[in-house]
Amino acid sequence: MTTYRTLRIAMNGVTGRMGYRQHLLRSILPIRAQGGVELPDGTRLQVAPVLVGRNESKIRELAAQHDVEHWTTDLDGAIADPGIDVVFDASMTALRAKTLTKAMQAGKHVYTEKPTAETLAEAVDLARLREETGVTAGVVHDKLYLPGLVKLRRLVDEGFFGRILSLRGEFGYWVFEGDHQAAQRPSWNYRAEDGGGMTTDMFCHWNYVLEGILGTVRTVTAQTTTHIPARWDEQGQEYTATADDAAYGIFGVETPAGDPVVAQINSSWAVRVYRDELVEFQVDGTHGSAVAGLTKCVAQQRAHTPKPVWNPDLPVTESFRDQWLDVPANADLDNGFKAQWEEFLRDVAAGRPHRYDLLSAARGVQLAELGLRSSAEGRRLDVPEITL
């Protein structure tokens, strides 16, 4: 007979884009529907979400719509509730550090969206608090669970690239200003005073992507900018975009073998897509190259590398994209957010740390902070190691 154990998860920020779509709809509800996750001893670990939000009618409606029994507008009460095991946060970035601090102090395990804090000092304090309390803490590192990046990492593990030389990443799409067509991202994202900004938003992702694929980030050079100075908010009011909406970064990375890799990543909300996917990374090595997106990954080995010859007098005759081979998944790769949730839940059950923790997140916040400083000061900066 199967034994069941249930974790009660207070979910804060579930009326937001990420909290609702990726965490509630795509992760926790499907995990609940499949009867939880199986633990090594055969026990099934079930999840029981408790929805937390500021707006009573919204949160009650959401709970009813998805057959969730418990909801509350009292975040502090949920954190203090001895029946709650895990506190999850996908609320606005500016509110996060306070929520996570209270939750860990109350002995709760925490799972959270990124960035974990607005400043490095706060992010490091959170990582320290986790060490002191011994709770399990997980921070969303969703990009590493994307099928495209899983395949890319496999190529690295198999030694496909030889010596890795460089990575180039292209991320972004056009975010409408909100005047004639509604913006497809929340307005706080474009206000620095509300915790918005491309660098703050994306450099924490790029830090764990670079760590997860290549190695440790040692230096950063960035130019950040606000291409679109005015936007229109959810109420149709014009506002000044005080945050950067694009960040062009060059990162000096060191592989575990000690080889230097130059990584360049462009991130922009003011770019139109001429790519196969909304994010793409190309890795070039002495023995092969690969291009990975969210789902696809293609590769070209040294022995199959054509020899292009520069001749501006003739039209291109080669179809360069056709010269790459598809890298198979060789497994059923589920939604990345759900996959990480399942891993985190197993870590909570086992009472062990989660591999993508608050320290990794603090390195992400550090890279964002240094990126902004590099741009402001117009120079390359070293990335110091964080010790707790």
Ligand X SMILES: NC(=O)c1ccc[n+]([C@@H]2O[C@H](COP(=O)([O-])OP(=O)(O)OC[C@H]3O[C@@H](n4cnc5c(N)ncnc54)[C@H](O)[C@@H]3O)[C@@H](O)[C@H]2O)c1
Residue with Cβ nearer ligand X (18 or 262): 18
91 lies in the binding site for ligand X (CB under 6 A): yes
User: Does the footprint of ligand X cover residue 113 (CB under 6 A)?
Assistant: yes
Residue in 6, 34, 54, 121 binding ligand X, rule: CB under 6 A:
54
Report which of 311, 361, 274, 337 is spatially closest to residue 24, judged by C-alpha positions. Answer: 337
Q: Does 72 bind ligand X (CB under 6 A)?
A: no
Among 95, 262, 270, 381, binds ligand X (CB under 6 A): 95
Q: Does 25 bind ligand X (CB under 6 A)?
A: no
CB of 185 to ligand X, least distance (A): 7
Give the three-state DSSP class for 359. Answer: helix
β 279-285/164-172 pair status: antiparallel
Minimum Å gap between C-beta 9 and ligand X is: 16
Please say whether the beta carbons of 176 and 227 come within 8 A: no
> Which residue, 136 or 187, is less far from ligand X as judged by CB?
187
Contacts (CB under 6 A) with ligand X, residues 172-191: 186
Rounded to an integer, what distance in angstroms lies between the CA atom of residue 259 and that of residue 61?
54
> Strands 4-12 and 44-52: what pairing?
parallel
Residue 152 buriedness (CB in 10 A; 0-12 / 13-18 / 19+): buried
Contact between 122 and ligand X (CB under 6 A)?
A: no
Angstrom distance (rounded) from CA 86 to CA 110: 5
Q: In this chain, which of 19, 49, 147, 148 binds ligand X, going by CB under 6 A?
A: 19
Q: Which of 211, 202, 189, 216 is nearest to 265 (CA)?
A: 202
- The number of CA neighbours under 13 Å toward the Cβ of 123 is 29
**Nearest distance from residue 262's CB to ligand X, in Å?**
25
What is the spatial distance between Cα 359 and Cα 364, in angstroms, rounded to a whole number? 9
CB of 165 to ligand X, least distance (A): 28
- Specify the residue, 205 or 289, whose C-beta has the smaller distance to ligand X: 205
| Binding residue for ligand X, selected from 47, 84, 90, 97, defined by CB under 6 A | 90
| Residue number with CB closer to ligand X (54 or 380) | 54
> Count of residues binding ligand X (CB under 6 A)?
18
**Could you tell me the smallest distance in angstroms from the CB atom of residue 93 to ligand X?**
4
User: 18 or 381: whose CB is closer to ligand X?
Assistant: 18
Give the contacts of 106 (CB within 8 A, at least 6 positions apart).
Answer: 79, 80
User: Cβ contacts of residue 186 below 8 Å, gap of 6+?
Assistant: 16, 17, 234
Fill in the per-residue mask, 199 to 238: x = in contact with ligand X (CB under 6 A), - = not in contact: --x-------------------------------------
The residue length of the chain stands at 388
- Candidates 17-25, 128-136, 175-183, 308-316 — which segment interacts with ligand X by CB under 6 A? 17-25
Q: Give residues with Cβ within 8 angstroms of 142, minimum separation 6.
A: 22, 336, 337, 340
Q: Which is nearer to ligand X, 160 or 337 (CB)?
A: 337
- Which residues, at least 6 apart from 296, have a Cβ–Cβ distance to it below 8 Å? 147, 148, 276, 277, 326
Q: Select 144 or 297, whichever has its Cβ closest to ligand X.
A: 144
Closer to ligand X by Cβ: residue 95 or 262: 95
Stretch that binds ligand X, among 8-16, 35-43, 166-174, 307-315 (CB under 6 A): 8-16
Footprint on this chain of ligand X (rule: CB under 6 A): 13, 15-19, 54, 90-93, 95, 113-114, 140, 142, 186, 201
